[in-house]
Amino acid sequence: MLLPIILSGGAGTRLWPVSRQAHPKPFMRMGDGQTLLFKTLDRALRVAPAGPVWTVTGRDYLFLSRDEYARHPQREQAQLGYLLEPVGRNTAPAIALAALAARAQFGDDVVLLVLPADHLVRDLVAFASAVERAQALAGQGYLVTFGIRPSHPETGFGYIHAGPAIAGSGGHAVEAFVEKPDRAHAEAYLASGHYYWNSGMFCFTAGAFLDALAQTAPEVLRAAEACHAASGELDAEGVLSFERDSFLLQPDISVDYAVMERAQRAAVVPADFDWSDIGSWKAISDLEEADEAGNRVRGQAIVVDSHDCFIQAENRLIAVVGVRDLVIVDTGDAVLVADRERAQQVRAVVDQLRSDRHAAATHHLTVHRPWGSYTVLEDAPDCKVKRLTVKAGGILSLQRHARRSEHWTVVDGTARVRVGEREFDLQRNESTYIPMGTVHRLENRTAVDIHLIETQCGDYFGEDDIVRLEDVYGRR
């Protein structure tokens, strides 16, 4: 049995302003409109069409993930499961906890295919072929990684030194894992033909991985076992929430350092498929077709006497004149302008935003919630205006505010509203007023989305002015 494990999360740094902490890289839409998370699920289902497929992600991303997976035509038969982390940790504890849960449900011999949700693979036929070879090696007790044939002397990736071929498998024993090299070493690795980029994708049985972990990093295994024991199994809805206190004791360490670099039976399968870790805006721009001047454009742009630029516009026209080698990204609330060759340094912008406690480090103008989303239309010192979309069946928390009143106007649909002790329906073009300090709630009891305009008045409009009295999604 093959069980794909999708690792989904991230801090949203190198691809800011599109990727942010509350809406990180796996949820970014590519040029075809599909997110990286959707594409990862799609290739997982290519090799395990009946599922199950498990996703290890943060609790805050559960509803985003479910909404994204709901778009897939195989979602009904896929047996989708979610393993939820209370906070972000590294890959070793994430995979260890997934392996323990898989062993408990399916036994030691279940083969885990670990797939990061922020990579792009477009040749799915070659991908399936590589997985078939990796699965066969995993069945022999190997811990398998996928090696990408280098196309240029890349200094931003780790490398795998392939050793002797493993007879009849199409794979090689791993001679060594190599840290990100300098230019000279990268050129030597490329010339030798024995080195591969480390893709961060893995294949092994749950039993073999946990046995290796016991030898190479027993402290990681002990912490994972304690957390697994405190957390239980997947519930009827396919969700397992890791218990917070024991999860916080997990070491912050990658699976490469904890296991793969020290494992006795590590193997590499050379992968013939295209692969990108989408690690920077330069990598994003390389995916787009260039015009005769080398410019790549998403959205509306006027380009005059400019060369080798990447321009992405969401809702506004961007005009560029007389520039070259720039990345320009506009998300409505933020604009990035960067030298294309220094796109990796965008993370320094996010560090500064976090230091300044700026909301743009975390949220977009449109913020996703379990019940739907809201878009900030105006944010002034004396008022804040939002457009709310409440999904069919969505229910906002029963709440009150200490420092603002609210006005709700229905634009489309029928909203069920509670204000104080009064409960009533609000139709299209009707509105209501919620005084400061009054208990209130908004529901969508219909089968279609509803849309409202919310106008807040007061002296403070932060999300921490919400006192939740009841919440069906378990938020506090």
Number of domains, the chain: 3
Strand partners, 188: none
Cβ atoms 425, 415 nearer than 8 A: yes
Cβ atoms 332, 315 nearer than 8 A: yes
387 shares a domain with 335: no
* Any domain includes 409: yes
Strand partners, 426: 415
384 shares a domain with 434: yes
145 shares a domain with 17: yes
pLDDT in tens, 397-441: 999 999 999 999 999 999 999 999 999 999 999 999 999 999 999
336 shares a domain with 412: no
Of the candidate ranges 154-158, 352-356, 430-434, 459-463, the one whose mean pLDDT is the lowest: 154-158
Indicate whether 12 pLDDT > 70. no
pLDDT in tens, 138-163: 999 999 999 999 988 988 889 999 99
374 shares a domain with 339: no
CB atoms within 10 A of CB 76: 9
Residue that finishes a domain, picked among 213, 236, 271:
271
425 shares a domain with 386: yes
> Residue 66's Cα: distance from chain center in Å?
12
Residue that finishes a domain, picked among 250, 271, 292:
271
Residue that finishes a domain, picked among 271, 298, 319:
271
Cβ atoms 78, 55 nearer than 8 A: no
pTM over 0.75: yes
Query: With bands split at pLDDT 50, 70 and 90, how would you rate the model's confidence at 78?
Result: confident
State mean pLDDT over 319-332. Answer: 96
339 shares a domain with 371: no
* Any domain includes 91: yes
Q: Where are the alpha helices (DSSP H) in 85-171?
A: 91-106, 124-139
Strand partners, 433: 407
Write the single-letter amino acid at 467.
Answer: V
* Any domain includes 356: no
* Any domain includes 354: no
- Which residue range(s) make up the domain with 316? 281-346
* Any domain includes 361: no
Indicate whether 9 pLDDT > 90. no
pLDDT in tens, 242-301: 999 999 999 999 999 999 999 999 999 999 899 998 889 999 999 999 999 999 999 999
289 shares a domain with 262: no
193 shares a domain with 127: yes
CATH number at residue 234: 3.90.550.10
394 shares a domain with 298: no
172 shares a domain with 224: yes
CATH number at residue 461: 2.60.120.10
* Any domain includes 323: yes
211 shares a domain with 323: no
* Any domain includes 141: yes
Q: What element of type H or E holds 384?
A: strand 383-390
Query: With bands split at pLDDT 50, 70 and 90, how would you rate the model's confidence at 213?
Result: very high
For Cα atoms 371, 374, 380, give the angle at the middle one, nearest 5 degrees: 145
Q: What is the residue whose two structure tokens read 């709630």?
A: 441
* Any domain includes 359: no
